[in-house]
């Protein structure tokens, strides 16, 4: 399984993610062409190699149209807007930065998604809603998977902003300038992951920075409120560098795309290393490091969903289990349990891959009487498996052969095949099963 490991020791932003993915081998020209195909009012992409604490890294900057740049310049008159490329030195008493927008470690001209006031120095500015941004993504000429993942990141960002401002998500508005480069960061990152063939993302706990930064509303704490909202269930630490290291866009991308937090296992085999640069020199290397490699399929974590049920018609369990298997669950099982006040009940458990968690939860909510579902990651050790066919006196039977470290540990005729042949030939099931097993054992011994 092709796995990307993100080492977020100096935070993360959309620009830094783009930089490290380009450094892993995505041609800059390919991404620049994709940005042109996004048709975002003339936005472009500038890519350069820089040094950060002696480390060569790629720095990515979204180039805004001339009209937008002029607007940004007007907004620079002393306003330091949260969410937008605060220098890590932007603290009370520090020299004000020049309004390089969007928490991107000074990665480009970024403007707040929703923190900017509607009027700055008397100038009105265009704003767009989340629905408009999602529609823009849906109109882009990319695969449905890329568009769906990009929209999911945008949705997380919009919901975080809505929570911060205490308003419905449909009322959240993004500043036009910020929305353009945010779309480039998000869609560009998802495209790069797709081009690299990344199947799984693991990330180290992310460093956020700490302190206060100046914005349109005055002083704001680090992490910024929207960033903090996005950090739910994400392991993070403040680190030793004062200032803003993690941006809302970076946090939204990590929250939506990372499959597992922590260290990769010893089975990970690194093939490439890439570095995406922030814009300032810091006491630590201002880079996001990414390692691309492989991990055995069985080493990838699976998830267990489970819920306790004491009030469901027992006839409904089989239907719910069938629906879960049809959705792709690896296994579903029922366990008799006793709940509070001595009530008899069942624990229904589902083993599945992470990308099916939400779909399986929907099935449990719709097909059972549960009002809450738990889920947690698990690992399993699996034997190597293959299917062989054997000829019994009554017909062909498929047989599963499992081995570990080159040694056969299990030989099992397929139950459904044996049942079909037993019924068709009016023979006892165990007779068909034993004959198929003996044929399979002879075949395995012959191979050895």
Q: How far apart are CA 11 and CA 287, in angstroms?
A: 8
CA distances from 189 to 26, 169, 213 (A): 11, 24, 27
Q: Residue 64: is it exposed, middle or buried by C-beta count within 10 angstroms (0-12/13-18/19+)?
A: buried
Per run of 10 residues, the mean pLDDT along the chain (length 448 residues) is: 94 96 96 93 90 96 65 34 35 35 38 32 57 93 93 94 88 72 94 94 95 81 94 94 94 94 85 94 95 81 92 95 94 95 94 88 95 90 87 94 90 95 96 95 77
Q: Give residue-wise pLDDT tens across range 132-176.
A: 999 999 999 999 989 999 999 999 999 998 998 898 888 877 765
**pLDDT of the residue at 412:** 95
Backbone angles phi, psi at 335, to 5 degrees: -125, 125
Which contacts qualify for 345-348: CB closer than 8 Å, 24 or more apart?
A: 345/308, 345/309, 345/310, 346/308, 346/309, 346/310, 346/312, 346/317, 347/306, 347/307, 347/308, 347/309, 348/306, 348/307, 348/309, 348/317, 348/320, 348/321
Using an 8 Å Cβ cutoff, are 441 and 411 in contact? yes
pLDDT digits (tens, 9 = 90+) for 377-386: 888 888 888 9
The predicted pLDDT at position 399 comes to 95
What is the separation, in whole angstroms, between the first and last Cα of the chain?
29
Give the span between the Cα atoms of 13 and 8, in whole angstroms.
10
Query: What does the alpha-carbon distance between residue 328 and residue 304 come to, in Å, rounded to a whole number?
Result: 13
| Ordered structural domains, the chain, with CATH | 2-297 (no CATH), 301-378 (3.30.70.1380), 384-447 (3.10.20)
Model pTM? 0.65
What pLDDT is stored for residue 153 in this prediction? 95
Among all chains, which residue has been given the structure tokens 């069938």? 322
Q: Tell me, what's the pLDDT at 93? A: 35
The 3-class secondary structure across 323-386, one letter per residue, is: HHHHHCCCEEEEEEEECHHHCEEEEEEEEECHHHHHHHHHHHHHHCCCCCCEEEEECCCCCEEE
pLDDT of residue 447: 64
């Amino acid at each position: 399984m092709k796995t990307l490991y993100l080492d977020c020791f100096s935070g993360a932003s959309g620009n830094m993610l783009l930089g490290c993915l380009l450094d892993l081998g995505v041609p800059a020209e390919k991404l620049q062409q994709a940005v042109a195909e996004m048709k975002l009012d003339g936005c472009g992409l500038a890519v350069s190699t820089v040094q950060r604490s002696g480390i060569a890294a790629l720095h990515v900057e979204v180039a805004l149209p001339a009209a937008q740049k002029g607007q940004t310049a007007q907004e620079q008159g002393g306003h330091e807007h949260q969410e937008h490329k605060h220098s890590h030195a932007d603290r009370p008493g520090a020299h004000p930065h020049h309004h390089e927008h969007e928490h991107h470690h000074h990665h480009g001209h970024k403007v707040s998604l929703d923190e900017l006031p509607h009027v700055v120095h008397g100038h009105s500015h265009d704003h767009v809603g989340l629905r408009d941004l999602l529609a823009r993504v849906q109109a882009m000429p990319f695969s449905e998977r890329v568009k769906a993942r990009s929209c999911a990141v945008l949705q997380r960002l919009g919901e975080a902003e809505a929570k911060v401002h205490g308003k419905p998500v449909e009322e959240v508005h993004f500043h036009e300038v910020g929305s353009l480069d945010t779309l480039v960061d998000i869609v560009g990152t998802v495209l790069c992951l797709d081009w690299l063939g990344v199947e799984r993302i693991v990330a180290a706990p992310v460093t956020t920075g700490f302190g206060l930064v100046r914005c349109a509303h005055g002083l704001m704490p680090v992490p910024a409120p929207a960033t903090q909202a996005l950090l739910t269930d994400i392991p993070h630490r403040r680190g030793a560098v004062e200032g803003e290291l993690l941006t809302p866009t970076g946090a939204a991308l990590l929250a939506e795309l990372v499959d597992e937090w922590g260290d990769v296992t010893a089975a990970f085999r690194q093939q490439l290393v890439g570095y995406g640069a922030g814009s300032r020199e810091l006491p630590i290397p201002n880079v996001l490091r990414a390692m691309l490699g492989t991990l055995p399929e069985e080493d990838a974590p699976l998830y267990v969903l489970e819920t306790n049920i004491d009030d469901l018609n027992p006839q409904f369990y089989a239907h719910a289990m069938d629906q879960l298997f049809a959705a792709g669950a690896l296994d579903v099982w029922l366990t008799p349990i006793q709940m509070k006040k001595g009530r008899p009940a069942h624990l229904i458990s589902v083993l599945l891959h992470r990308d099916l968690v939400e779909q399986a939860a929907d099935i449990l909510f719709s097909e059972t009487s549960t009002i809450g579902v738990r889920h947690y990651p698990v690992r399993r050790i699996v034997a190597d498996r293959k299917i062989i066919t054997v000829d019994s006196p009554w017909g062909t039977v498929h047989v599963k052969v499992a081995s570990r470290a080159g040694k056969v540990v299990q030989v099992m005729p397929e139950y459904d095949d044996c049942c079909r042949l037993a019924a068709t030939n009016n023979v006892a099931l165990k007779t068909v099963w034993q004959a198929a097993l003996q044929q399979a054992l002879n075949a395995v011994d012959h191979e050895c």
